Amino acid sequence: MTDHLDPIILGHNQFIGVSHLSQEAARARVERFGRMDRVGELIRFCRESGVHGMMLSSHPKARDILAYLKAEGLADGLGLYPLIPFAQGYVRRMNAVGMTGMIKEIVQAAPLKTKASLAVQGSLGLARRDLTRLLGAFVDIEMLNFKGFDTRGVFLHDAFVDLALALQAREQLEFFSKHVRSRYGVRPGFVTMNFPLLVESFQRWGMERPLVMTTFNKAGFQMNPSREACERALDSGYADVVAMSTLAAGYLDPGSAYEYIHSLGNVPSVVVGVSTVDHARETFSLINGTVFKEKEDLGL
Amino acid sequence: MRARPEKRHQDVKKSNMETRKEASVGIVGLGKMGIAHLAILNALDGVAVRAVAEKQSMMRKGLGTIIDDVNIYSDYRVMLDREHLDAVYITSPTALHVSIASECAERNIGFFVEKPLGLSANECEALVREASERGTVTMVGYCKHFLETFRKAKEVLDSGQLGKPIYVTSHMYVSQLFSQGSGWRYKKESSGGGVLNILATHLVDILMWFFGGVESVTCSTKAHYSSEVEDFVHAYFTFGSGLAGPLDASWSMRGFRLPEIEVTVQCERGMLTVTEDFVKTFDDADERYTMLYKQDLFEGVPVYVGGAEYTREDALFVECLKTGRSPELDVAYGCRVQRVTDAMYESARTGRTVAPAGRE
């Protein structure tokens, strides 16, 4: 089992119509990437530029993307970093059918093996210990989408990580960690908006030094409780960080934004959202010339 | 119910809080918002969640596997009687808000209630009186007040730099419901209504926060996916100040991954548009747009669970418990918003222009 971490990971937000800049920008993305050939063109360019890591949630659109990549021969050698569960989808289901209705749906959709391990008694007669394992069901259902692909890490969505951190739900976070290691043989990752709290908690619990995707940007946007506290947590060296929101959702000038990431000195990987080939070319060259300028072996 | 000398109980509470320097809180209802508040309060300083009441056994069991120093009840009344709580978070379906809140007020326990306050203003009036007489610390979860962009817009409008507001257009949309929904939100008796009482009450709140009391309202609603409640609402407001304009809202609008509020105000000397993402102003004097993004206005929070606004409102409520003073968003305010939504429903039903009851 190797823990390979790609220095540049292509983010998925642009493909699934998400923009943290504005909903207007998000709608433009839905329109642009409604055509799968545009997704393909962009991923092909990434591969040619030496970017072989891609993050993908289990958004319904992501399934289409995966099928397309396979059909077009773009999946070989492409390292996937699934981001699960697809939180927004569950929130919508919860609003539509209620919390227990949603949990019922999850249990029903789980793979047989998972269902058996849940020891489902009747429709919702879950035993106490099984409620932690429900998290395993979440993971397994979502991972069905990525079967047959080269998965290099599985990230737990920040909606769940941040809830667990605030509740100090050590058992559930450890369960996720072990489950990903044992069932999928890859490194578990955690997405968070509370990076210092995560580092402090994991250290206190004596958990394995984690892989963490979290916000790092010059503007301090979405860095809680503050940019300074996040930088101090990074300096502790107790996490391998994949920096996200490096442009503060398209708000920052890329040049100075990546200089800032480089100045941190301790960021092995950056997740980027690029929407066009020109944009990708500019971004990769900037990252290569700033964040990883001392590293010659990236081959980007 | 256990008899308890009220005055003495209050004194005990105060001295407890002084020595513990920590507010004791209970939560009723472990839905989405109950869980979010539980998590935030668990992480915030100066407050401890001591107890949770939840009807569904699966949720109770689930919580028991995660947290072990919280007492879990199936009946909130038992929780209120047994625990020495400074405050209760009421995150149950809307129909139960007022009765639970009243029981808290009777026991001199402060409460935070999720929006909207109730099914109708009628139902809320007695609670407002009781809370005011007893000096109960109360708050209604109109969380948009705690988002940077809306706070900034309020500041700009109040500064008078754009002059008096003349006309306001507003909407709130989300892509949520495209088939018949199930659960309490879509049953009139438990939700009080559809997209208006559940969601667009946020927009009604923002308009009242920005522009003050509503003089009259004309409203139409339409149901398409839901059988009991409205999926679309369109209203025309006239405020006490003379400002007027439309509100449009739906949870069945395509292209809105997240709920989006947009308010555009035409003023004497310029205009302002605010959403969750930005505040844009146009000043006639220099004929220029000024754009402030949420990134410009961002402030970190001690713990982030689903939105910084929830942490900020909880921090404010905890602070209020310490000082013993209710925030602006108290039950009286919640009831004023409710009177406006009531007037909207009445107008939609009768086809007439309606003045909210008890307007100031």
**What is the DSSP secondary-structure string of A121-182?**
BTTTB--TTHHHHHHHHHHHHHHGGGTTSEE-EEEEPHHHHHHHHHHT-HHHHHHHHHHIII
Given pLDDT bands bounded at 50, 70 and 90, which one contains residue A164?
Answer: very high
Q: What one-character DSSP code corresponds to residue A78? A: P
Query: What pLDDT does B129 receive?
Result: 97
Residue A243: phi and psi, rounded to 5, are: -80, 130
**Is B10 within 8 Å of B109 (Cβ atoms)?**
no
Strands B87-90 and B23-28: parallel
Query: What pLDDT does A131 receive?
Result: 67
Q: What is the CA radius of gyration of chain B?
A: 21
Q: Do B64 and A128 touch (CB under 8 A)?
A: yes
What mean pLDDT value characterizes chain A? 84
Q: Which residues of B touch A91 (CB under 8 A)?
A: 32
User: Where does residue B357 rank: exposed (0-12), middle (13-18), buried (19+ CB within 10 A)?
Assistant: middle
Strands A240-244 and A269-272: parallel
> What is the average pLDDT across B269-290?
96
B273: its two tokens: 């548009």
> What is the average pLDDT across B166-172?
98
CA distances (Å), B324 to each of A140, B26, B111, in order?
Answer: 49, 17, 12
Question: Model's pTM, two decimal places?
Answer: 0.89
Q: Do B277 and A172 touch (CB under 8 A)?
A: no
CB burial string B130-150: b at 16+ within 10 A, e below: bbeeeebbbbbbbbbbbbbbb
B39, B258, B294 ranked by CB distance to A166: nearest: B39
Given pLDDT bands bounded at 50, 70 and 90, which one contains residue B5?
Answer: very low
> What is the average pLDDT across B291-307?
96
Is B33 touching A (CB cutoff 8 A)?
no
B65, B181, B256 ranked by CB distance to A23: nearest: B256
**Is B137 within 8 Å of B17 (Cβ atoms)?**
no
Percentage, residues of chain B above pLDDT 70: 94
SS3 A248: coil
Q: What is the CA radius of gyration of chain A?
A: 19
Q: Average the pLDDT over each of A98-107, B226-235, B302-311 and give the range with the smallest value.
A: A98-107
Residue B252: phi and psi, rounded to 5, are: -120, 45
For residue B140, pLDDT beyond 80: yes
Q: How far apart are CA A224 and CA A247, in angstroms?
A: 16
Chain A interface mutation, best of B37, B58, B68, B178, highest count of A Cβ atoms under 10 Å: B58
Is A101 touching B (CB cutoff 8 A)?
yes
Query: What pLDDT does A278 receive?
Result: 86
Would you tell me how many other CB atoms lie within 10 Å of the CB of residue A144?
Answer: 13
Closest residue on chain B to A161 (Cα): B305
Given pLDDT bands bounded at 50, 70 and 90, which one contains residue A129?
Answer: low
Q: Interior CA angle at B153 toward B151 and B156, to 5°?
A: 110
Interface of B with A in 290-309 (CB under 8 A): 293-295, 298, 300-306, 308
For residue A119, pLDDT beyond 70: no
Given pLDDT bands bounded at 50, 70 and 90, which one contains residue A295?
Answer: low
Given pLDDT bands bounded at 50, 70 and 90, which one contains residue B8?
Answer: very low
Residue whose structure tokens are 């879990």: B72
Nearest CA of chain A to the CA of B123: how many Å? 25
Query: What pLDDT does A86 receive?
Result: 76
Percentage, residues of chain A above pLDDT 90: 42
Query: What pLDDT does B95 receive?
Result: 93
Residue whose structure tokens are 């559930």: A172
Would you tell me how many other CB atoms lie within 10 Å of the CB of residue B257?
Answer: 18
Q: How far apart are CA A212 and CA B245, in angstroms?
A: 47
Query: What pLDDT does A251 receive?
Result: 86
Higher pLDDT, B294 or A99: B294
B277: its two tokens: 């993402």
Query: What pLDDT does B20 receive?
Result: 54
Q: How far apart are CA B146 and CA B150, in angstroms?
A: 8
B63: its two tokens: 């919580």
Closest residue on chain B to A197 (Cα): B303
Higher pLDDT, B270 or B19: B270
Nearest CA of chain B to the CA of A43: how many Å? 24
Query: What pLDDT does B11 receive?
Result: 40
Q: How far apart are CA A16 and CA A61, in angstroms?
A: 6
pLDDT tens digits, residue range B188-240? 887 778 999 989 999 999 999 999 999 999 999 999 999 889 999 999 999 99
Query: What pLDDT does A139 receive?
Result: 86
> What is the average pLDDT across A271-285?
86
Residue B47: phi and psi, rounded to 5, are: -150, 145
> What is the average pLDDT across B145-151?
98
> What is the average pLDDT across A253-271?
92
Query: What pLDDT does A178 receive?
Result: 93
Interface of B with A in 143-182 (CB under 8 A): 176-177, 181-182
Nearest CA of chain B to the CA of A49: how many Å? 31
pLDDT tens digits, residue range B9-50? 334 344 445 445 799 999 999 988 999 999 999 999 999 999
Higher pLDDT, A138 or B39: B39
pLDDT tens digits, residue range B49-60? 999 999 988 788
> What is the average pLDDT across B305-321?
97
> What is the average pLDDT across A110-119?
65
What mean pLDDT value characterizes chain B? 91
Q: Do A166 and B65 touch (CB under 8 A)?
A: no
A167, A223, A229 ranked by CB distance to B66: nearest: A167
pLDDT tens digits, residue range B64-80? 888 888 999 999 999 99
For residue A104, pLDDT beyond 70: yes
Residue whose structure tokens are 């394995």: A208
Q: Interior CA angle at A189 toward A186 and A195, to 5°?
A: 160
Query: What pLDDT does A297 receive?
Result: 47
CA-based nearest residue to B139, from B360, B329, B338:
B329
Nearest CA of chain A to the CA of B43: how many Å? 5
Given pLDDT bands bounded at 50, 70 and 90, which one contains residue A126?
Answer: low
Closest residue on chain A to B69 (Cα): A167
User: Where does residue B255 rank: exposed (0-12), middle (13-18), buried (19+ CB within 10 A)?
Assistant: middle
Q: Which residues of B touch A18 (CB under 8 A)?
A: 257
Q: Which residues of A touch B67 (CB under 8 A)?
A: 167-169
Query: What pLDDT does A41 receive?
Result: 86
Sheet holding B232-239, edge to edge: B214-222, B232-239, B244-250, B165-173, B260-267, B270-274, B278-283, B288-293
